[in-house]
């Protein structure tokens, strides 16, 4: 079947003079919209205020918090550094307009849902199905000076606590200068904003977060005790 080129010179239309439409402005707007959506729902830049997470991170450090993976698989791993909403009982973090007025804090996940936890003689002891008699958590992320202070005093010890199935026991790495689950108890998963992903400031410290490689050991109690 013969075809006709309507923009050919024979039809009075010069292809060189035909109207041209650029897709660049449209693509630019699409990119802007995608960045806004990602900024609100997927990635959040946060600035650390305080030193409760020394030596892992410090006052003034800035991180990208990643939210999406926890929404797909809503469980956080032990050792993960997270950002959580301080208003745990009224944390409407999924409200686009309300979330920017909320206060967030940064801590580390130590106890998982359904576990029991205690701190004794400066050792963090976890009880779960795999370790019914307890395991001592090897926390290499705690600074040496803090470890010495913890070892010299039992004022930071905690009695045995049961973690609800929808909550996490979180603590700051700087155990001697951190208000955390030892004070206000386990934090609901609904209050967790997301996982720290990349530190981007200061530039000299820019790096991706790595989960700790735990080398735990069995807990051998000095006397018999009952788990809650």
Q: Does the active-site annotation cover 107?
A: yes
Which one of 52, 167, 178, 181 is the catalytic residue? Answer: 52
- Quick one: 47-209 is in which CATH superfamily? Umud Fragment, subunit A (2.10.109.10)
Q: Does the active-site annotation cover 18?
A: no
Buried b (16+ CB within 10 A) or exposed e, 209-221: beebeeebeebee
Rounded Cα distance between 42 and 39, Å, is 6
User: Is 7 a residue whose pLDDT tops 50?
Assistant: no
Mean pLDDT of 125-137: 96
Residue-range domain boundaries for the chain: 47-209
The pair of three-digit structure tokens given for residue 193, joined into one six-digit string? 């904003």
Q: Percent of the chain beyond pLDDT 90? A: 54
Residue 228 pLDDT level (bands cut at 50, 70, 90): very low
Predicted pLDDT at 165: 95
Which one of 93, 107, 120, 195 is the catalytic residue? Answer: 107
Mean pLDDT of 198-222: 90
The pair of three-digit structure tokens given for residue 70, joined into one six-digit string? 């926890």
Predicted pLDDT at 28: 74
């Amino acid at each position: 079947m013969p075809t006709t080129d309507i923009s050919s010179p024979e039809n009075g239309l010069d292809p060189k003079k035909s109207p041209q439409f650029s897709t660049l402005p449209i693509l630019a707007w699409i990119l802007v919209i995608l960045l806004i959506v990602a900024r609100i729902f997927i990635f959040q830049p946060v600035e650390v205020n305080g030193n409760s997470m020394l030596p892992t991170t410090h006052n003034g450090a800035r991180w990208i918090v990643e939210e999406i993976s926890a929404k797909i698989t809503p469980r956080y791993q032990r050792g993960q550094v997270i950002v959580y909403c301080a208003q745990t009982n009224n944390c409407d973090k999924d409200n686009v307009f309300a979330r920017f007025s909320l206060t967030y804090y940064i801590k580390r996940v130590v106890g998982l849902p359904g576990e029991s936890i205690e701190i004794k003689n400066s050792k963090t002891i976890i009880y779960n199905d795999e370790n019914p008699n307890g395991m001592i958590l090897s926390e290499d992320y705690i600074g040496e000076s803090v470890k010495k202070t913890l070892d010299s005093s039992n004022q930071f010890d905690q009695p045995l606590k049961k973690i609800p199935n929808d909550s996490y026991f979180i603590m700051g790495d700087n155990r001697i200068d951190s208000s955390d689950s030892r004070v206000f108890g386990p934090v609901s998963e609904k209050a967790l904003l997301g996982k720290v992903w990349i530190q981007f400031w200061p530039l000299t410290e820019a790096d991706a977060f790595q989960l700790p490689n735990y080398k735990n050991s069995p807990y051998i109690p000095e006397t018999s005790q009952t788990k809650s």
